[in-house]
Amino acid sequence: MKVLIVGSGGREHAIAVSAAKSPKVDKLYCAPGNAGIGQVAECVPIGAMEFEKLAAFAKEQAVDFTIIGMDDPLVGGIVDVFEEQGLKVFGPRKNAAILEGSKAFSKDLMKKYGIPTAAYETFDDPQEALAYLETAKLPVVLKADGLALGKGVLICQTLEEAKEGVKSIMQDKKFGSAGNRMVVEEFMTGREVSVLSFVDGKTIRILSSAQDHKRAQDGDQGLNTGGMGTFSPSPFYTKEVDTFCRNHIYQATVDAMAAEGRPFVGVIFFGLMLTENGPKVLEYNARFGDPEAQVVLPRMKNDMIEVMQACVEGRLDQIQIEFEDNAAVCVVLASNGYPVAYEKGYPIEGLERFEKETDYYCFHAGTACRDGKIVTNGGRVLGVTAKGADLKQARRKAYEAVEWVHFDNQYMRHDIGKAIDDV
């Protein structure tokens, strides 16, 4: 079959590598893709938000199955456009992708169906938000309602900071129309875990857990980023945590969406915080995490395409997901200055080594091909990933492999997976 992947980051490279392994796939396209994806798929120069052009391409090439990797096109309704044209596509429709697209929607859903999450209030009017903050407990968390590239969350230690936050989100529109509404949330403490799942509208299958490192600098200092590295599984995701989440969070979310007339088909990413009062949902995403996909997909034994087809055809209950009994660590190599300002266009050396080694992967995020050479083309450039018998071995191997590649202006965190030393 012919498969099209929509997106261009490290997550889409990981999806492409898994798709290429499937015996069902004989032609793989990616729009728009990147230099690394170009080694396993034919890259097509159509942007992820050009829904009509993408659907026209899928029709012209008789693409059998399309996988949407990114949040923006999902929230914008790309799946509806494909379905209207009779095309098979993996991902939630617009009315279900709202689970990620609106924090107010997801918080109201959790409240209505008793799914554990932080206490909150929603505001459309900045004056009402400011009045509420006068009485709120500190620190307090402010969230722009809509998509904001993972940056629309402010943790405010003082009332002054919180007032500034309301101004920047709702009045100065720092995150654009994402800030037309705002959620003010109770601050929680605990370890964070990312849990990805496949969903067919009724049935949910949970994948191995992972942990991201969102801050730019070592020791969780610096600005929030899209993610500087991950490990999987998380040793803090114990059997007890899993049982609790299965009883109170996972199926409950799928059932709630179905009850609301918004059946969810695709990947639900549960961002959990393990608080002293039990696991609570920090956020939902309507797609694989980036760079969570880079440590979870390489460990999955199933044919990913077969699982995704089962989701779209509503027969996920017939599939069991199996994982290798090992671990993986991904270290992101970024451009110095990310997530604020950085230079691009530096040649990347040493990539060929990864083709010769098993259990090592170099997932491309911001890369491009210029005059036959692969160059840096974004903030997050590469996700160097290694599998190992356990987390410590995987971490050692991932940090060994980052030495194989080089580009000017390279930046990484040195403490990805350090938390596993606490176990």
Is 185 or 290 the residue whose CB approaches ligand GLY more closely?
Answer: 290
SS3 readout for 149-161: CCCCEEEECCHHH
Q: How far is the CB of 389 from ligand AMP (least distance, A)?
A: 29
Q: Record the tokens describing residue 216, joined without a space.
A: 């730019």
Selected range binding ligand GLY among 106-114, 168-176, 236-244, 285-293, rule: CB under 6 A: 285-293
The residues in 187-226 that bind ligand AMP, with binding defined as CB under 6 A, are 187-188, 192, 214
Work out the burial of residue 57: count CB atoms within 10 Å of its CB; fewer than 13 is exposed, 13-18 middle, 19 or more buried: middle
CA atoms lying within 13 Å on the CB side of residue 270: 33
289's contact among ligand GLY, ligand AMP, none, with CB below 5 to 8 A by partner kind, is ligand GLY
Which residue of 64, 185, 212, 260 would you call a contact of ligand GLY, by CB under 6 A?
212
* Cβ nearer to ligand AMP, comparing 22 with 102: 102
Q: Which amino acid is at 272?
A: L
- Nearest residue relative to ligand AMP (C-beta): 283
How buried is 72 (Cβ within 10 angstroms: 0-12 exposed, 13-18 middle, 19+ buried)? middle
With contact defined as beta carbons under 8 Å apart, do 129 and 180 qualify? Answer: no
Contact flag: residue 12 with ligand GLY (CB under 6 A):
no
How far, in Å, CA of 248 to CA of 258, rounded?
16
- The alpha helices in 22-70, defined as continuous H runs, are 51-60
The two tokens of residue 113 are 């169906």
Min dist CB 52 to ligand AMP, Å, is 30
Among 141, 286, 305, 412, binds ligand AMP (CB under 6 A): 141
DSSP letter assigned to residue 376: E
Give one DSSP letter per residue of 58-90, joined into a string.
HHHTT--EEEE--HHHHHHTHHHHHHHTT--EE
339 prior amide bond cis, ω within 30: yes
- Interface of this chain with ligand GLY, residues 223 to 282, rule: CB under 6 A: 227
Q: Which of 139, 150, 235, 278 binds ligand GLY (CB under 6 A)?
A: 150
Of the candidates 392, 222, 367, 364, the one whose C-alpha atom is nearest the C-alpha of residue 290 is: 364
From 44-52, 148-156, 306-314, 349-357, give the range in contact with ligand AMP by CB under 6 A.
Answer: 148-156
417 binds ligand GLY per the rule CB under 6 A: no
Give the footprint of ligand AMP on residues 153-172 (CB under 6 A).
153, 155
The item of ligand GLY, ligand AMP, none sharing an interface with residue 185, based on CB under 5 to 8 Å by kind, is ligand AMP
Q: In this chain, which of 20, 118, 206, 258 binds ligand AMP, going by CB under 6 A?
A: 118
By the rule CB under 6 A, 383 interacts with ligand GLY: no
CB 116 within 8 A of CB 249: yes
Amino acid at 284: Y
> At closest approach, how far in Å is the CB of 320 from ligand GLY?
26
Which residues are near ligand GLY by CB under 6 A?
150, 212, 227, 285, 289-290, 292
Which residues are near ligand AMP by CB under 6 A?
118, 141, 150, 153, 155, 185-188, 192, 214, 271, 282-283
